């Protein structure tokens, strides 16, 4: 998706929205499946979506990169079963920047 300024902000917004959608759904089924299954599903639905066209995200402003980083941290928290209020909130679990 390209917006009128050719900045791919719409693409990033769409990617973030889609990733959070899948993360919410995976969080709902986490207690019913094995941790390895959650890991595979997060990789299939979230990490692969972030990796797709990640070269386009290289020139983004700091705000958009932080939003993408938050998605990746949320995915890592889901896989590692770390609560959202953990001390890792101050530091990224995975650094993409």
Q: From first to last of its 97 residues, what are the pLDDT tens digits of the chain?
A: 555 666 677 888 889 999 999 999 999 999 999 999 999 999 999 999 888 877 777 777 888 889 999 999 999 999 998 887 766 555 555 555 5
Taking the model in full, what pTM does it have? Answer: 0.77
What b/e string do you get for 62-88 counting C-beta neighbours within 10 Å, with b at 16 or more?
eebbeebbebbbbbbbbbeeeeeeeee
The pLDDT value given to residue 55: 75
């Amino acid at each position: 998706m390209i917006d009128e300024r050719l900045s791919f902000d719409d693409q990033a917004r769409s990617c973030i929205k889609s990733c959070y959608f899948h993360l919410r759904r995976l969080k709902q089924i986490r207690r019913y499946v094995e941790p390895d299954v959650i890991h595979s599903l997060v990789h299939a639905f979230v990490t692969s979506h972030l990796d797709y066209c990640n070269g386009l995200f290289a020139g983004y402003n700091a705000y958009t990169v932080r939003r993408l980083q938050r998605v990746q941290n949320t995915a890592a928290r889901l896989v590692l079963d770390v609560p959202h209020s953990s001390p890792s909130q101050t530091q990224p679990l995975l650094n993409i920047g």
